[in-house]
Amino acid sequence: GENVEQHPSTLSVQEGDSAVIKCTYSDSASNYFPWYKQELGKGPQLIIDIRSNVGEKKDQRIAVTLNKTAKHFSLHITETQPEDSAVYFCAASKGGNYQLIWGAGTKLIIKP
């Protein structure tokens, strides 16, 4: 079945630096790739997503890139701030009514 691998499991960066989290997926039919941010004690929050018909999408300090040939996608956070500290999850699906297949999560720590 579909599998999504996420790396690293923990990422510690200096405030102001960039952070990159990578995911690979196994099902070439996957066409929707969201990223969620989960703060302690809260539900996952959708922060950005990308569909397979585009290679990159950006929203202020956050960007996602997709390489369909290699079947991997990445989350890029620039100019990191303390409030970026959280657990980030990637996911993949075939869209619509198909379920999301989740990565294991990355704990992002922003050092002051």
Residues in contact with other proteins by CB under 8 A are: 32, 34, 36, 41-46, 49, 51, 89, 93, 95-97, 99-100, 102-105
CB of 17 to other proteins, least distance (A): 25
Comparing CB distances to other proteins, the nearer of 71 and 102 is 102
Comparing CB distances to other proteins, the nearer of 15 and 54 is 54
Comparing CB distances to other proteins, the nearer of 32 and 109 is 32
CB of 102 to other proteins, least distance (A): 5
CB of 84 to other proteins, least distance (A): 19
- Three-state SS string over the chain comes to CCCEEEECCEEEEECCCCEEEEEEECCCCCCEEEEEEECCCCCCEEEEEEECCCCEEEECCEEEEEECCCCEEEEEECCCCHHHCEEEEEEEECCCCCCCEECCCEEEEEEC
CB of 105 to other proteins, least distance (A): 5
Q: How far is CA 80 from the centre of its chain?
A: 15
